[in-house]
A and B are shown apart, each in its own frame.
Chain A
């Protein structure tokens, strides 16, 4: 196979700054020939270089170049390609970069990011002094494995093959058809990687009496396949993103809350509603909050729940204020809605400190600690039976609104009609109307 001789379209200078006998120059020449074979406009090619000797490559090139942090080259390449789909993005990274940046390579393969990765794999860190890398063969000698490498080498080609890559090959840098395989990789729509084995004449060669003839022997010994490992096609992440854009609805517009009702408050009120995860506490208080806004009040809703979301407490603190709210702490609430044992457990310790002007609405089965606060009771089993389990919180919130008369119940009903999903709306309205007809609180 004849290599196209038009490297200079893509390669600025061939006075490479690498050691005599180093494979890096061979790979850069192959890259230049591959780009020439594909006849890509230089302005459409972006090279991303990782850290290490390979990172010196960008100064040799005539295409766009991006030299970033160690191990992150594949992440930068992914960002470039997603943001500018017309670019052919090619990563040049050493074996060191594949170790520190393994997660990014895996993710790019799984996403089928349409980028090409050329691994300049010389089995050790050349720039920092011959330390072992992720791809150093087992038992090989390096400056950090003076008695032989105890680790197994990272089979980067097999790994990305197993994780969704589109085109994967492993080639010695000395193969005359390397440029052709690199061209295949670049031409592949989707994630491609060529693991290119080469000599580090500064360290790995002298430390292991290593020669280019030993590549295939080492591959066999390490159970690694040479040449093309996979060549298949599937959708890329870029294509998926493009489809999302093409099928996206127009940007969502916020639906304002018109002031349609009047509130009765002269001063700020604080309400704490304490229940259990899954008990629709946040939603019910959120409906009350919107109704308050529609009644001309300033509102602030703070939710407290454990990171597990579906178990434990769910506590919502609501501030209603006829004036704008600056500080939004609630040292002492005016009304406390205790729905469940989990809710009581979360805020129960504060009960003892609350004076008589705090009104507590507590589920009838809850055993409250001693408190001076006034307490009214309701039976959530009745509510569950009559209105549905998912409407208990809303029923209690609506009942407290009726009791406290912050603003008309109609405001809450309006919010339910305008804001709730149709499948929940009827039941929710029925619950509110039911508690308006007959108080839920025990006399």
Chain B
């Protein structure tokens, strides 16, 4: 119930929540190519965009989809595209361009079983490392992963805010189960963070340089294509003028800027839900769909008298190292359920302390990890070591 006493219960799926948030964020441009389980976002955009004065295009392929969104973003619009693993593969080169040219852009990847065409209607969350390392050069971007309808809505808004603030592509990693499962939800409980719009250039037009980062600023100030001042945009290594350069100083400055502008300790970047139980020695770290079973399992285990903490990560990249280091230091046994072959476990192990023992709970055959499997992993004595399990 809302505060007005009117019902705010609805029946909708994860993609519905994402598109609602996109429109609420002020997104007015969507271009994409049909692919299960992301297609309903394209359909919703085609249906809804004209109503908000926006444009939605079904493109000839995924490459055109992301290309049009990138260009539209440079006219000042907030833009979104959506695909699944096969399409994300085709986005790869343009994701690199969006990083290089500092383009605010939302990319939804509704994951399904891979590799390649894999299982079109089968669950999978195997694009975790691909999302981060899928473009050449290895420069960072932001990757968020919702776990339910509420976080699908809220993280989409955060994604737009982060894209605008840091002039970067932001990937939203959802999956078939979340995209297509219809659920009841009290939408009045969804939080709406204040909207952030990219910083506009406010100086005199003769002084505008499209890639100059002023002292104390995080990113270059923006002017759209069509502005009175000349706007240059380039995929090539460039200086402040937006022109390809061989100048080693300019090159280094640009690349250091790209490497440093996105990190876990920048404002608004590290999003998570920590539910820490004092004096617990066991911690479940989860994200995406496995977070649902993890939170369920933690709740059940506490009901049985076990002391168990839970950390749900909403930001996957950059790895929220602050909170992870903190909780790894406070716990011994770390249970890591994932719907893949342990793609985030390696990030956690990288940050681990001597006392930490990791227990992996993994499913990549399309079946869902259940709370019972997690409870079993937690209560096994001694805890199963990942190394031992792989021998």
Contact = CB atoms under 8 A, between A and B. Distances in A.
How large, as a class, is the contact surface on chain B? 35 or more
B88 interface: no
Name which of A107, A286, A304 has the most chain B CB atoms within 10 A of its CB. A107
A240 to B, nearest CB: 10
Contacts of A120: none
Give chain B's interface secondary structure class: mixed
Contact of A327 (B69, B93, B292): B292
B51 A72 contact: no
A64 interface: yes
B191 interface: no
A78 B368 CA distance: 41
Interface in B343-374: 367-368, 370-371
A80 B71 contact: yes
Interface string B65-89: 0011111101111010000000000
Interface residues of A, number: 69
A326 B11 contact: no
Contact of B67 (A62, A75, A248, A327): A75
Contacts of B70: 68, 76, 79
A327 B293 contact: yes
Contacts of A84: 75-76, 224-226
Interface stretch (A256-264, A273-281, A402-410): A256-264
Interface in B203-238: 224-236
A87 B225 contact: yes
Contacts of B367: 329
A289 interface: yes
Contacts of B57: 78, 82
A257 B61 contact: no
Interface string A300-313: 11111101000000
Contact of A329 (B187, B233, B368): B368
Nearest 7 pairs of A and B residues by beta carbon: A79-B71, A79-B68, A83-B72, A75-B67, A248-B50, A258-B7, A107-B60
Interface of A: 42-44, 46, 48, 55-56, 58-59, 62-69, 72, 75-80, 82-84, 86-87, 103-104, 106-107, 241, 244-245, 247-252, 254, 256-259, 286, 289-290, 292-294, 297-305, 307, 325-329, 331
Given A299-B11, A327-B293, A328-B368, 14 more contacts: A48-B71, A56-B244, A68-B235, A78-B67, A79-B67, A80-B71, A83-B75, A106-B60, A256-B6, A289-B184, A297-B184, A300-B182, A304-B121, A326-B296
Interface of B: 6-12, 20, 23, 29, 31, 36, 47-48, 50-55, 57, 59-61, 63-64, 67-72, 74-77, 79, 93-94, 97, 120-121, 148, 177, 180-184, 187, 224-236, 242-244, 292-293, 295-296, 299, 367-368, 370-371
25 contacts: A58-B232, A58-B234, A58-B243, A63-B230, A65-B231, A67-B233, A75-B63, A75-B67, A79-B29, A87-B226, A103-B60, A107-B60, A107-B64, A245-B53, A250-B51, A256-B187, A289-B11, A293-B184, A299-B11, A304-B121, A307-B120, A326-B148, A326-B292, A328-B183, A329-B370
